[in-house]
Amino acid sequence: MSETPLAASSSGVVDLLGVLAYAELTAFWRLAEDAARLAPSLTDRAALSDLAATEYAHFRLVRDRLTSMGAEPEEAMAPFVEALDDWHAKTEPGDWLEALVKAYVGTGIALDFYREAARHADPETSSLVDEVLADEGRSEFTVERVRAALGKNPKIAGRLALWARRMVGEALSQGQRVAAARPDLAALLVGPSGEDLAEISRMFARLTEAHGKRMSALGLTPGP
């Protein structure tokens, strides 16, 4: 039985798991809502519902890890509710394709931040975060449908690319807001080097590269 007392754990790790837990919980809500509200067919509705169920299973994993550490999950999530809810409110998709791009590109860059922070956490936390952030079919589902839509109507590429850039901008803004309010999480994100600007630059290079790959996979231009 592996159990880490809260007193021996970093508050940055609790923050990381708290924001990840709430991110997974809200992803479940949003995907389920998009499935019911925007999916153009029963097949798409079922597929998106499957992804929503996976997000909820991931939430339970993180919640249970927080509990095993002696942390109260609701308290751990509470500092991040306003920022994440605000991001979702500002990036409400207007149609099915916008919902897919948000689920793949917008959520993707946010999850990249959590993955970066987990690189500097303890092995058990890093392993859990890797499990929770596993793709679970999201990429294949989204890429297939967006590319099919672009094949039928290439003119929508510009609109979707602008939508993706807007979401990434909002995600970075909210990330800065959270980091400013939670210095322990910010310290975990940059790692033991702290003020090492070269390492921070490398981190943002990795984030940019991952974002560019997602955009290219969809057949969209990454943009500035």
What sections of 153-182 are H helices per DSSP?
Answer: 156-181
Structure tokens at 120: 């500097």
Mean pLDDT of 130-150: 85
Q: What is the mean pLDDT of residues 48-58?
A: 90
Residue 178: pLDDT band with limits 50, 70, 90: confident
Global confidence as pTM: 0.84
Q: Residue 45 carries which side chain, given as an amino acid letter?
A: R
Residues 81 and 29 sit within 8 Å (Cβ to Cβ): no
The tokens for 34 are 């998009």
- The pLDDT value recorded for residue 73 is 96
Which range of 32-46, 96-110, 123-137 scores highest in mean pLDDT? It is 32-46
Q: How far apart are CA 216 and CA 218, in angstroms?
A: 5
Superfamily of the domain at 10-218: Ferritin, core subunit, four-helix bundle (1.20.1260.10)
Q: Where are the domains of the chain?
A: 10-218
Cβ–Cβ contacts within 10 Å for residue 100, how many? 26
More confident residue, 60 or 6: 60
Specify the range with the lowest mean pLDDT, choosing from 77-91, 142-156, 163-177. Answer: 163-177
Taking the C-alpha atoms of residue 32 and residue 37, their distance in angstroms, rounded to an integer, is 9
Average pLDDT on 132-145 reads 81
Residue 8 is predicted with a pLDDT of 33
Average confidence score pLDDT of the chain: 84
Beta strand residue intervals within the chain, DSSP E: none
Higher local confidence (pLDDT), 149 or 173:
149
Q: Residue 6 — very low, low, confident or very high, per pLDDT cuts 50/70/90?
A: very low
Q: How far apart are CA 29 and CA 137, in angstroms?
A: 18
Q: What is the mean pLDDT of residues 42-50?
A: 91
* Of 8, 23, 84, nearest in space to 56 by CA: 23
Is the distance from CB of 103 to CB of 201 less than 8 angstroms?
no
Structure confidence at residue 46 as a pLDDT band (50, 70, 90): very high
